[in-house]
Structure 1
Amino acid sequence: MAFQAGSFLPCKGTLLLLFSLLCCHFGVGEGQYKGFRRLSRVQGSSSSSRRGALDEQWFPQKLDHFNGADRREWKQRYFVNEAFYKPGGPVFLMIGGEGPANPAWMQYGTWLTYAEKLGALCLMLEHRFYGKSHPTPDLGTDNLRFLSSRQALADLAHFRTVMAEARGLTDRKWVAFGGSYPGSLAAWFRLKYPHLVHASVATSAPVHATINFPEYLEVVRHSLALENAECPLLVKKASDTLVERLKDPKTYDNITTDFNLCSKLQIQTEMDSAYLLETLAGTFMDVVQYNEDNRAFEGVVGTNVTIKVLCGVMTDSTLGEPYARYAAVARLMMDTFSMKCLNASFDTYLRDMTNTSWDGPAAGGGRQWVYQTCTEFGFYQSTDSPNQPFTGFPLEYQVKQCANFYNVSAEMLAEAVAQTNEYYGGYDIRSSRIVFPNGSIDPWHALGITQDITPDLTAVFIKGTAHCANMYPARSEDLPQLSLARDHVLLLLQQWLK
């Protein structure tokens, strides 16, 4: 059986996509960009460190690892923390994901606690095409062909090989760390390059690719219901009311006012209504995904908005009918993030996502991550399941965006997702010395490993915690099962590094 810090929530079956960097949320920056919720938010961190850990360094990286005739190179950003290293100790490699590598992770986080106890040297490598790691002049679709998990793993392999030789670390044991999409990369790095990485900690890792991931919203419903059984029912009533009003153009002025939209609502296609409905649902999706985590150390605003807060608004009858409470939630989030208004225009989103400049509004990660979902993973969080509280953004709406942004057809997407599972194994991963921590509140756990596969492919399923919770710095308010999970991972590392 898997080690369970709390009771087990059955694995649903497939996950979802997204982006927004919340990030993994919406709003661009480190979490989300409207419409698609980015997977991760975690990219590295612990207690104390040397000032040098914040100094960015640059590694000459190959553009195309799979074409020996292509000799082009680019500079990839990385960070080093030597504060805890003891001669003969292991090397910890934090893997960057679908956003800028945050140097805060070189100062704070559970992995640094492990490094201090185990005498590890800590490195963090930013993912190609994200942050300051720009392999190509722009983000044109032709250039994005060099953006893939396979190229990213080859980056890690080349980085590990060269750094080991340069620093005299060839005979040291290397451990890969990552959370969310980087968690998947950590597992796959061990799978595909077992001679280079000794063990991996793959937190909140969606290892199974799937086009349609309605289970994401099913977990959202379940998580809301744990707080208050009426909460998801009220959300559904509000969402259904909004869908009905969108059928009548006479209501558009009121909807514009109710949700403080940046421009007058115009519904000309199904994409317009779906984008609005997904934008509003995104508030609940983001809060559930990161509920009560400890992202405050990263300077993340809004971390005090929890499931409890959202359900408190939705059950407050003094605010009016469920529809009015739904609008109150949207205004609460705008106030929290100091947003003057809500941009719910699909035309604006389309324009932003097709801007190929590194200075474009979606260059923080949105254009890149959605490309990866269209060419590798899917992960689309649709409303296709009846067992969730939202309406109006079906799989068809998600898939059309691949064609709109990158000329990727539905058939091309299906083939790409099948190839990803064929290449990595999906749920049926076969390797050793990988631990998979997941939280029961986190909707992404449905695409992860939540039960032991073998004694050396271990699941740590943590009841009541959200996305990547075990990676953040410990605090007194942490649930006992979260503390136990962190301790269990440390015991595994001690065992594997003997």
Structure 2
Amino acid sequence: MKYPHIALGALASSAPILYFDNITPQNGYYSIVSKDFKEASKSCYRSIKKSWSIIDKIASSKNGLSYLSRKFKTCSQLRDASELKDYLDEHYSVAAQYNQPPIYPVTTLCGGIDGAPKGSHILDQIHAGIVAFAGKRPCYNTNTTPSETGLGWRWQTCSEMVMPIGRGKNDTMFFSEPFNLDEFIKECKKKYGVSPRPHWITTYYGGHDIKLILHKFASNIIFSNGLRDPYSSAGVLKDISPNLQAVYTRNGSHCLDILNAKPSDPEWLTMQRNTEVKIIEGWIAQYYADDLKSQLPHQN
């Protein structure tokens, strides 16, 4: 769309282009995370959903944060309940977003929760899930420094790509935390010194009427998604025109189709990639046909 004079076409893998300016419900992302966990194990889903209020209750009691720090073997003393909750939130989200074969992290994490000794305290179950997912360590760091790539992504979501991701009460397996634009702006200014532009994407690309805009001004784009990816809640899942096509798989995760192919890849993933290659080959063939036609002498 932006560089048609340079690019013949584009494969937009796991692109949440509808997560701007409230086009998609705030809880879209976390609804799919919750769905992934519920499909993997209902008991695991219930344990996670139940754990938030228990964490809050213990954290508010005398020496509660010290107790939670020991329970979850954190590398440093927890400062408040939100530090632990955000840490768990991130692990569940990452597991769902990258829930790819052959490991399937959601299944691994839930296996830890469900596999805790019978009669275990619910927080011991949750910790067992984190250990299964993250591996056994001397302690668990709840304040990790983001990688350069992660830092760049966070800066971008604070500047141009403002996605109002949040959740209400009881609409996911998570605690309630609606998106608050004012708080988001304050946090972005504090961390990165940038002022978010929540309407920039929709103003620039016309996102509120994406089908009409893309139909008129875009061509040769594949919108690929895996429906286990939380970002697919804001992806294009239906063809817009013959050369703006949606390709998705029920069991796919974030950007799975553009990872290196492996002999162990399931058939549905191989088929998705083959479909994308066939579409791209069609673009290239059409380009050369048009180029050849333009070189032929004009007849009067």
1:379 is aligned to 163
Give the unaligned 5+ runs of structure 1. Answer: 1-190, 268-272, 295-303, 350-360
8 A contact 1:313–1:329 mirrored in 2:
yes
Contact 1:433-1:456 at 8 Å conserved across structures: yes
CA gap of 1:211–1:363, structure 2 versus 1, over 3 A, is: farther
Q: 2:100 aligns with which of 292, 314, 318?
A: 292
How far apart are 1:223 and its partner, in Å?
0.9
- Say if 1:471 and 1:457 are closer, same or farther in 2 by CA, change over 3 A: same
- Listed one character per residue, the Cα deviations across residues 119-163 of structure 1 (whole Å, up to 9, x for unaligned) are xxxxxxxxxxxxxxxxxxxxxxxxxxxxxxxxxxxxxxxxxxxxx
- Conservation of the 8 A alpha-carbon contact between 2:21 and 2:164: yes
SS at match of 2:153: helix
Tell me: CA distance 1:442–1:452, structure 2 relative to 1, closer, same or farther (3 Å).
same
The CA distance in 1 between the partners of 2:176 and 2:70, in whole Å, is: 21
> What one-letter code is carried by the residue in structure 2 that aligns with 1:343?
N
SS at match of 1:460: strand
Counterpart of 2:148 in structure 1 is: 364
Bigger Rg over Cα = 2
Q: Which structure dedicates a bigger proportion of its chain to helix?
A: 2
Cα pair distance change 1:291/1:437, threshold 3 Å: same
Whole-Å separation in 2 of the counterparts to 1:403 and 1:385: 28
Q: Is 1:241 paired with 2:54?
A: yes
In structure 2, how many angstroms separate the alpha carbons of the residues matched to 1:407 and 1:250?
A: 36
Quote the residue 1:404 is aligned against: 190
- Match of residue 323, structure 1, among 123, 128, 132: 123
Trace 1:22-171 onto structure 2 (pairs within 5 A). none
Contact 1:263 1:343 in 2 (8 A): yes
Report the residue type matching 1:328 in the other structure: A
Within the candidate set 57, 78, 84, 1:276 is matched to 84
**Letter in structure 2 aligned against 1:198:** L
* Structure with higher RCO (Cα < 8 A, 6+ apart): 2
Give the superposition deviation at 1:243.
2.2
Alignment partner for residue 3 of structure 2, among 173, 193, 215? 193
Relative to structure 1, is the Cα distance of residues 230 and 343 closer, same or farther in structure 2, using a 3 angstrom cutoff? same
CA distance in 2, matches of 1:494, 1:277: 47
Q: Which residue of 2 aligns with 1:229?
A: 42
Q: 1:423 to 1:205 in 2, by over 3 A?
A: same
Aligned pair in 2 of structure 1 residues 209, 317: CA closer, same or farther (>3 Å)? Answer: closer
Q: How far apart, in 2, do the equivalents of 1:307 and 1:482 lie?
A: 18
Structure 1 residues 365 and 253: CA distance shift in structure 2, 3 A: same
1:260 correspondence with 2:70: no
Counterpart check, 1:206 vs 2:16: yes
Deviation at 1:404, TM superposition (A): 2.1
Match of 1:438 among 225, 233, 237: 225
Equivalent AA in structure 1 for residue 228 of structure 2 = I
Shift of 1:399: 4.9
Partner residue, 1:469: 256
Structure with bigger strand share is: 1
- Distance in 1, matches of 2:261 and 2:151, equals 33
With over 3 angstroms needed to count, the CA separation of the structure-2 counterparts of 1:201 and 1:487, relative to structure 1, is: same
Whether the aligned pair in 1 keeps the contact of 2:108 and 2:133 (CA below 8 Å) is no
CA displacement at 1:392 relative to structure 2:
5.8
Asked if the contact 1:206–1:445 (Cα under 8 Å) also holds between the matched residues in 2, the reply is yes
2-structure distance, mates of 1:329, 1:468: 25
**Structure 1 residues 403, 290: CA separation in 2 closer, same or farther (over 3 Å shift)?**
same
Q: What value does the CA root-mean-square deviation take over the aligned residues?
A: 2.5
Residues 259 and 331 in structure 1, CA contact (< 8 A), matched pair in contact too: no
Distance 1:292 1:363 in 2: 22
Code of the residue aligned with 1:331 in structure 2: it is V
CA deviation after TM superposition for structure 1 residue 425, in Å: 2.8
User: Residue 261 and residue 380 in structure 1: after superposition, are their counterparts in 2 closer, same or farther (change >3 A)?
Assistant: farther
Looking at structure 2, the residues matched to 464 and 305 of structure 1 have their Cα atoms a distance apart, in angstroms, of 10
Deviations 1:82-106 (Å, cap 9, x if unpaired)? xxxxxxxxxxxxxxxxxxxxxxxxx
Partner of 2:140: 342
Q: What's the CA shift for 1:385?
A: 5.4
The answer to whether the 8 A contact 2:96-2:105 is kept is: yes
Return the TM-score normalized by structure 2: 0.81
Aligned equivalent of 1:308 = 107
Give the secondary structure class of the aligned counterpart of 1:202: strand
